[in-house]
A = this chain, B = another copy of it.
Amino acid sequence: MKSTIYFKNKPAIVATSTICGPKESDGNLGEYVETRLLDDMFGEDTYEKAECKMLSHVIEKSIQNADIKLKDVDCLISGDLLNQIISSSFSAREFDVPYLGVYNACSTMCEALAISAVLVDGGYMSTTVAATGSHFSTAERQYRYPLELGSVRPPQSQWTVTGAGSSVVSDKKGFFPRITSATIGKVTDFGVTDVNNMGAAMAPGAFRTIYNHFKDTKRTPDYYDLILTGDLGALGSRLLKHLSKEKGFDLEKNHVDCGEMIYNIDEEEYQGGSGAGCSAVVFNSYIYKNMIKKKFNKILFVATGALLSTVSSQQGESIPAIAHAIAIENGVI
Contact = CB atoms under 8 A, between A and B. Distances in A.
Interface of A: 1-3, 5, 46, 48-49, 71-75, 79, 81-86, 89-90, 92-93, 96-105, 111, 114-115, 118-119, 121-122, 124-125, 184-189, 307-312, 315, 317, 320, 322
Nearest to A102: B102
Given A98-B3, A99-B184, A185-B98, A84 B86 contact: no
A79 B103 contact: yes
Contact of A308 (B84, B102, B114, B184): B84
A102 B101 contact: yes
A309 B138 CA distance: 14
A308 B93 CA distance: 12
Instruction: Tell me the number of copies of this protein.
Output: 2
A275 B265 CA distance: 44
B86 A307 contact: yes
Contact of A111 (B82, B101, B186, B188): B101
A1 B46 contact: no
A71 B122 contact: no
A102 to B, nearest CB: 5
A186 B105 contact: no
Contact of A1 (B71, B114, B124): B71
B100 A84 contact: no
Contacts of A111: 100-101
B48 A312 contact: yes
B118 A82 contact: no
B315 A46 contact: yes
A119 B116 CA distance: 11
Contact of A309 (B86, B98, B104): B86
28 contacts: A1-B72, A1-B97, A1-B98, A2-B74, A5-B119, A5-B124, A5-B125, A48-B311, A82-B309, A82-B311, A83-B84, A84-B308, A90-B307, A90-B320, A93-B187, A93-B189, A98-B185, A99-B185, A100-B104, A101-B102, A101-B103, A101-B307, A102-B102, A102-B103, A115-B115, A118-B124, A121-B122, A122-B124
